Chains A and B, each alone.
Chain A
Amino acid sequence: MDYPGNFETPAFPAGKRIAVSRFMAICALSAFLLIVFLCGILLWSSQSEKLEPFMISANNESGEWKIVGKNSGTVEYSINHTMQESVVGNFVKDWFRISADNSENENAWKSCERNICISDSLTFGDRSCAIYCNISEDLYSRFSYDIMPDYIKRSQNGETWKIDEKSLSISPAGKISDKGGTWQISTNIVSNNIGKFTVKAFLKVARNKNFYPQTMGFYVADFNAYRID
């Protein structure tokens, strides 16, 4: 010891190295904690600022505003939703069809046994009982009393109707559930007599698995159409 001549003389020779290694250890620990903290902040910030834009579509005719898109990245339709849409599309094609072939019309519009609707005798593309097999008894009775006489008259005058499938638009008019719902359609009908005209219709789809198994139980319970122009 050369105190007070030499202040640099260490009291403990290894003290400096220990102090340096302690300092380094504290630095390494701080850096470690800082990195972990920054990772947490990064994760938190990426999760916290999440935009959920809703896209709104307004229907100028019905005044209906609905959400047509959300940034969920996926669009999902249930099988029941898709089946109802299919029932609606196929039914509308049959309802607004007047063929030049009178026997085809009679076949499509006639009343049948319910068993025939679900039997294998009806092949794909066969329009036999096309109306009856997809609607309720009540609606069929309205069809046969109110609609069919007009269709027969038109058919006898040589008029034919067919929907322009490219113009067919089908959308829900309210909530659609697994038990059915109300749908609205808009389509152009091409007539050889009066040309093309636009129709808007509302269809109520209901479900009865026993009577309509060919469409998972879905059938048209009510149909209301209006000629727009």
Chain B
Amino acid sequence: MKKLIMFFAGIILLLLTFVALYFSGALFDASNDRYIEAFVFQPNNLSTDRIGHPVPVEKLSDKFVRERLIKKFIIEYFYINPDVENIALRTRSDSVMAAMSAPDVFKDWRKTEVKEIEDLSGKKAFRTVTIGDEILKKGDYWEVYYELKTWHETNNMNLTPDVKNGIMYIKISFEKGIRDKRAGGSFDIQKFLENGGDPAAVFKFRVDEVRR
């Protein structure tokens, strides 16, 4: 009788093992479950927004990342659109411009450029910024050629923009990689990006000085 009980106990133990295996397998499958939801792209020409082959940041060269961040900084420095709320967001102390600049650079920018940007945006002007292809290092500074096109009037299809060319010399601190700290505290990149933070603010890039 005792042997029979032991035998059934063994069988139950074996069954329990298989049940545990089954549930673990099911959970494992569930963790990798993916659903495909059908959606239709509108027939727009999105080629300017379409990304190419995605490449991880680690595989990009220093030059590639640095040049794009420099371009981003210069565009952010001058760009104007006719949306005053957008300008207000861009000039705040938690903006991407503040994240990419040393405190003195950000303060100077607010003193010199922001007033003009706000004025023109209020008057519904629009300004585009085009950066020259070559960004060369001259001593401690990076030399950046730029072209500003400003439309001072809105909804006038006969208007040609004012064109202004210039050179900016910027001194930067750049280290390849993603920030792990921001403003002295810890920095949760995932949360930052999911809340709509500008991706340019996550790189270890800072402009220490601007000369024009």
Q: Residues of A at under 8 Å CB distance from B?
A: 21, 28-29, 32, 35-36, 39-40, 42-43, 46-47, 52-63, 65-69, 73-77, 85, 89, 142, 146-147, 150, 165-171, 173-175, 182, 184, 186, 197, 199-200, 202, 204, 222-228
Partner of B85, one of A21, A68, A168, A182: A182
Q: How far apart are the CA atoms of A159 and B142 in the complex, in Å?
A: 49
Known: A39-B21, A66-B199, A173-B83. 5 other contacts (CB 8 A): A21-B6, A53-B56, A58-B200, A182-B83, A182-B86
Smallest beta-carbon distance B144→chain A, Å:
13
Q: How far apart are the CA atoms of A74 and B157 in the complex, in Å?
A: 40
The answer to whether the Cβ of B129 comes within 8 Å of any Cβ in the partner chain is: yes
Known pairs A46-B31, A174-B85, A200-B126; A59 contacts B154 (CB<8 A): no
Q: How far apart are the CA atoms of A21 and B43 in the complex, in Å?
A: 74
Contact residues, B157-173 vs A (CB, 8 A): 157-159, 161
Contact residues, B29-79 vs A (CB, 8 A): 31-32, 34-37, 39, 42-46, 48-49, 51, 54, 56, 68, 71-72, 74-76, 79
Q: How far apart are the CA atoms of A130 and B51 in the complex, in Å?
A: 35
The answer to whether the Cβ of B136 comes within 8 Å of any Cβ in the partner chain is: no
Whether A65 and B198, one on each chain, are in contact in the complex, defined by CB atoms closer than 8 angstroms, is yes
Q: Which residue of A lies closest to B201 (CB)?
A: A65
Smallest beta-carbon distance B72→chain A, Å:
6
Known pairs A69-B51, A166-B43; A35 contacts B21 (CB<8 A): yes
Q: Which residue of A lies closest to B32 (CB)?
A: A46
Q: Which residue of A lies closest to B25 (CB)?
A: A39
Interface size class of B (residues with CB under 8 A): 35 or more
Whether B49 and A36, one on each chain, are in contact in the complex, defined by CB atoms closer than 8 angstroms, is no
Contact residues, B79-99 vs A (CB, 8 A): 79, 81-83, 85-86, 89, 96
Whether B49 and A171, one on each chain, are in contact in the complex, defined by CB atoms closer than 8 angstroms, is yes
Smallest beta-carbon distance A50→chain B, Å:
9
Q: Which residues of A contact B130 (CB under 8 A)?
A: 61
Whether B83 and A204, one on each chain, are in contact in the complex, defined by CB atoms closer than 8 angstroms, is yes
Partner of A43, one of B24, B35, B54, B156: B24
Whether B51 and A224, one on each chain, are in contact in the complex, defined by CB atoms closer than 8 angstroms, is no
Q: Which residue of B lies closest to A223 (CB)?
A: B155
